[in-house]
């Protein structure tokens, strides 16, 4: 498994792709363009890794890429016009390195450095990867980030605040320090890092609810039975909880609240890129089918002031919608119902974000047919989902593949290839299917279809 490098942003991604290929020898793996022909997303192969590239303002701390021959690499970059910001230097840790700015001012570091302990993807790292997941879960469940928000604290203080065993809590905090989420300022005293702040509710980019959901006891136990799902093709969630996944959320208010908050956290992260990369202004009314607490719909409505919205979900999904819809009630209504049976009629567009992958083909088709029955001949179906490549030839697909396994054990659903989405939509009565490239900072693509 290779490295997926941080996203690099460019004002003119198309020109940047050509320059990066010439200057650094990057190979173009995938390029996605919008309706205007502008590059919206690209993936460039860098040795065994992948650089993700998209539109935006250049900047950031820079990207480090390991190369076999930094001297030859340096000369090639200079010949292409790169501005050297750190000359070729033999570092004390054994690497020969240089740094430069590209044509838009992004910083790149190149050198021979390779980690000497358990590189990413090594057998040990793969085998032990459950350990940091559980460390994150315990930190999220104890809400340690909130307890550290006021500044550094002694372990004994934190243990009293969280009802834990102080010596064992210190062991956990040391592990969090190794993960970069806290800093041990003096022995036994800890402070929160910028990354650790993301484990606090309300922080921009918070993933506390997602950690509690994905690493929590029910999904954890379901993954522990993965071998049974592989043998039978059936999800294991029901064996663990006694109920199918979405019946469980309807029966468990606390679990439902964690699920809804986790979905909201993820949607807040990806919504700006979706809104910037898709023209919602051409519609008069948009129904968000299975839209939960309205995080995405409210963001779209605030960005498109002439659009009207309908938020549609089960009552449990809509339970926390009011706070997101504040100030939008004159343009948005909430409707509860079952999307397997019927959805609100007569809108210009019907949006399903991360809904279809929860279900097998039969149930997914039932949802799509319910939408088809509600739509007029000029309406548009908008399906926001990741799209599996036909063949796995890049580590860039790791997130989608892991989500696919998660669907296998949890819901019985699946991620799909473009061909599988087209077949699913055709089977539900849709035509004129188009698929965009992934939006910035997400693997989601917009799959559009007409009745």
Whether 139 and 145 have beta carbons less than 8 Å apart is answered as: yes
Q: What pLDDT score was predicted for residue 114?
A: 54
Q: What pLDDT score was predicted for residue 225?
A: 97
Q: Are residues 26 and 150 in the same domain?
A: no
In a domain, 229, yes or no: no
Q: Are residues 103 and 149 in the same domain?
A: no
Q: Tell whether the model's pLDDT for residue 120 goes beyond 70.
A: no
Q: What whole-number distance in Å separates Cα of residue 149 and Cα of residue 12?
A: 39
**At 354, which CATH number?**
3.40.50.150
Q: What whole-number distance in Å separates Cα of residue 196 and Cα of residue 176?
A: 9
In which domain, by residue range, is 270 found? 263-450
User: Looking at residues 227-255, what average pLDDT do you find?
Assistant: 92
As given in the structure block, the two tokens for residue 441 are: 């900072």
Instruction: Select, from the ranges 101-110, 228-237, 242-251, the one with the highest average predicted confidence (pLDDT).
Output: 228-237
Q: Tell whether the model's pLDDT for residue 373 goes beyond 60.
A: yes
Q: What pLDDT score was predicted for residue 252?
A: 86
Higher-pLDDT residue of 140 and 246 is: 140
User: Looking at residues 387-404, what average pLDDT do you find?
Assistant: 87
Q: How confident is the model at residue 350 (pLDDT cuts 50, 70, 90)?
A: very high
Q: Tell whether the model's pLDDT for residue 416 goes beyond 70.
A: yes
Q: What pLDDT score was predicted for residue 317?
A: 82
In a domain, 254, yes or no: no
In a domain, 250, yes or no: no
Q: How confident is the model at residue 47 (pLDDT cuts 50, 70, 90)?
A: low
Q: How confident is the model at residue 115 (pLDDT cuts 50, 70, 90)?
A: very low
Question: What 3 state SS string does 261-284 have?
Answer: HHHHHHHHHHHHHHHHHCCCCCCC
User: Looking at residues 68-96, what average pLDDT do you find?
Assistant: 88
What average pLDDT does the structure give for the chain? 90
Q: Tell whether the model's pLDDT for residue 107 goes beyond 70.
A: yes
User: Looking at residues 145-161, what average pLDDT do you find?
Assistant: 96
Q: What pLDDT score was predicted for residue 15?
A: 93
Q: Are residues 141 and 197 in the same domain?
A: yes
Residues with Cβ within 8 Å of 9's Cβ and at least 6 positions away in sequence, in order, are: 53, 54, 55, 56, 57, 58, 59, 60, 106
- The widest CA-to-CA distance across the chain, in whole angstroms, is 68
Q: What whole-number distance in Å separates Cα of residue 53 and Cα of residue 259?
A: 31
Which of 51-65, 96-110, 289-303 is least confident? 51-65
Q: Tell whether the model's pLDDT for residue 336 goes beyond 50.
A: yes
User: Looking at residues 305-315, what average pLDDT do you find?
Assistant: 95
Torsion over CA: 108, 114, 115, 119 (sign) = positive
Choose one of 111, 138, 167: the last residue of a domain.
Answer: 111
DSSP H helical segments within 120-216, as ranges?
Answer: 123-127, 130-142, 144-147, 155-162, 166-178, 208-214
Torsion over CA: 380, 386, 391, 394 (sign) = positive
In a domain, 156, yes or no: yes
Phi, psi of 372 (to 5 degrees): -60, -40
**Domain count of the fold of the chain:** 3
Q: Which residues pair with 46 in a beta bridge?
A: 49
As given in the structure block, the two tokens for residue 40 are: 């919206």
Q: How many CB atoms lie within 10 A of CB 183?
A: 15
Q: Are residues 54 and 197 in the same domain?
A: no
Can you tell me whether residue 239 is helix, strand or coil? helix
Q: What pLDDT score was predicted for residue 95?
A: 77
CA proximity to 407, closest of 186, 138, 214, 152? 214
Q: What pLDDT score was predicted for residue 386?
A: 94
In a domain, 289, yes or no: yes
Q: Are residues 143 and 105 in the same domain?
A: no
Whether 314 and 308 have beta carbons less than 8 Å apart is answered as: no
Which of 36-50, 173-187, 289-303 is least confident? 36-50
Whether 417 and 387 have beta carbons less than 8 Å apart is answered as: yes
Q: What whole-number distance in Å separates Cα of residue 347 and Cα of residue 359?
A: 24
Q: Are residues 317 and 427 in the same domain?
A: yes
pLDDT in tens, 254-269: 888 898 889 988 899 8
Q: Could you list the active site residues?
A: 357
In a domain, 237, yes or no: no
Q: Are residues 296 and 435 in the same domain?
A: yes
Q: What pLDDT score was predicted for residue 61?
A: 64
Q: Tell whether the model's pLDDT for residue 241 goes beyond 60.
A: yes
**At 208, which CATH number?**
1.10.10.10
Q: What pLDDT score was predicted for residue 311?
A: 97
**At 66, which CATH number?**
3.10.180.10
Q: Are residues 288 and 382 in the same domain?
A: yes
Q: What whole-number distance in Å separates Cα of residue 325 and Cα of residue 332?
A: 8
Mutual angle of helices 398-410 and 217-224, in 10-degree steps: 90
Q: Tell whether the model's pLDDT for residue 118 goes beyond 70.
A: no
User: Looking at residues 193-198, what average pLDDT do you find?
Assistant: 93
Higher-pLDDT residue of 35 and 434 is: 434
Choose one of 85, 111, 137: the last residue of a domain.
Answer: 111
Q: What pLDDT score was predicted for residue 200?
A: 94
Q: Which residues pair with 30 in a beta bridge?
A: 43
Torsion over CA: 251, 253, 255, 256 (sign) = positive
Q: What is the pTM of this model?
A: 0.72
Whether 131 and 167 have beta carbons less than 8 Å apart is answered as: no
Which of 110-114, 117-121, 269-273 is least confident? 117-121
Which of 13-17, 249-253, 348-352 is least confident? 249-253
Q: Are residues 51 and 200 in the same domain?
A: no
Q: Tell whether the model's pLDDT for residue 5 goes beyond 70.
A: no
Q: Are residues 170 and 291 in the same domain?
A: no
Which of 43-47, 76-80, 138-142, 171-175 is least confident? 43-47
Q: Are residues 195 and 83 in the same domain?
A: no
Q: What pLDDT score was predicted for residue 48?
A: 54
In a domain, 334, yes or no: yes
DSSP 8-state class, residue 439: P
Q: What pLDDT score was predicted for residue 6?
A: 58
In a domain, 36, yes or no: yes
Higher-pLDDT residue of 29 and 350 is: 350
User: Looking at residues 381-396, what average pLDDT do you find?
Assistant: 88
Q: What pLDDT score was predicted for residue 37?
A: 85
Q: Are residues 324 and 443 in the same domain?
A: yes
Q: What pLDDT score was predicted for residue 145?
A: 97
Q: What whole-number distance in Å separates Cα of residue 178 and Cα of residue 174?
A: 6
User: Looking at residues 230-237, what average pLDDT do you find?
Assistant: 96
Q: What pLDDT score was predicted for residue 229?
A: 96
Choose one of 111, 141, 157: the last residue of a domain.
Answer: 111
pLDDT in tens, 89-102: 887 656 788 999 99
The DSSP line for 372-409 is HHH--TT-EEEEEEEEE-SS--SGGGHHHHHHHHHHHH
């Amino acid at each position: 498994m290779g490295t997926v490098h941080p996203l690099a942003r460019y004002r003119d991604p198309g020109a940047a792709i050509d320059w990066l290929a010439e200057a650094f020898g990057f190979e173009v793996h995938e390029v996605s363009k919008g309706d205007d022909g502008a590059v919206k997303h690209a993936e460039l192969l860098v040795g065994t890794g992948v650089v993700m590239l998209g539109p935006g303002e250049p900047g950031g701390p820079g990207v480090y890429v390991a190369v076999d021959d930094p001297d030859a690499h340096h000369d090639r970059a200079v010949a292409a016009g790169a501005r050297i910001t750190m000359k070729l230097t033999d570092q004390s840790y054994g690497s020969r390195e240089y740094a430069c700015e590209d044509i838009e001012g992004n910083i790149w570091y190149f050198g021979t450095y390779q980690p000497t302990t358990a590189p990413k993807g090594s057998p040990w790292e793969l085998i032990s990867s459950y350990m940091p997941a559980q460390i994150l879960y315990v930190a999220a469940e104890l809400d340690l980030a909130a307890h550290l928000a006021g500044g550094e604290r002694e372990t004994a203080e934190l243990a009293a605040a969280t009802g834990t065993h102080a010596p064992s809590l210190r062991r956990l905090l040391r592990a969090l320090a190794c993960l970069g989420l806290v800093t041990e300022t003096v022995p036994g005293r800890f402070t929160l890092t910028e990354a650790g702040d993301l484990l606090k509710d309300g922080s921009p980019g918070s993933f506390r609810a997602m950690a509690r959901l994905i690493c929590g006891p029910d999904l954890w136990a379901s993954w522990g039975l993965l071998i049974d799902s592989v043998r039978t093709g059936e999800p294991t969630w029901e064996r663990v909880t006694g109920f199918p996944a979405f019946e469980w959320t309807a029966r468990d208010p606390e679990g439902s609240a964690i699920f809804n908050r986790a979905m909201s956290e993820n949607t807040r992260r990806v919504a700006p890129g979706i809104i910037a990369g898709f023209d919602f202004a051409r519609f008069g009314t948009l129904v968000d089918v299975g839209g939960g607490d309205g995080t995405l719909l409210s963001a779209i409505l605030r960005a498109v002031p002439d659009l009207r919205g309908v938020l549609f979900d089960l009552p449990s999904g809509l339970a926390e919608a009011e706070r997101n819809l504040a100030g939008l009630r004159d343009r948005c209504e909430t409707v509860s119902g079952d999307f397997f049976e019927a959805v609100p009629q007569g809108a210009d567009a019907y949006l399903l974000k991360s809904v279809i992958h929860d279900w097998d083909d039969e149930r997914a088709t039932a949802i799509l047919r319910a939408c088809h029955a509600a739509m007029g001949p000029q309406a548009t179906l908008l399906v926001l989902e990741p799209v599996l490549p036909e063949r796995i030839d890049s580590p860039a697909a790791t997130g989608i593949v892991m989500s696919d396994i998660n669907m296998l054990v949890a819901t019985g659903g699946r991620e799909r290839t473009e061909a599988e989405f087209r077949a699913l939509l055709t089977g539900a009565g849709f035509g004129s299917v188009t698929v965009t490239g992934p939006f910035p900072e997400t693997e989601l693509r917009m799959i559009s279809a007409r009745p």
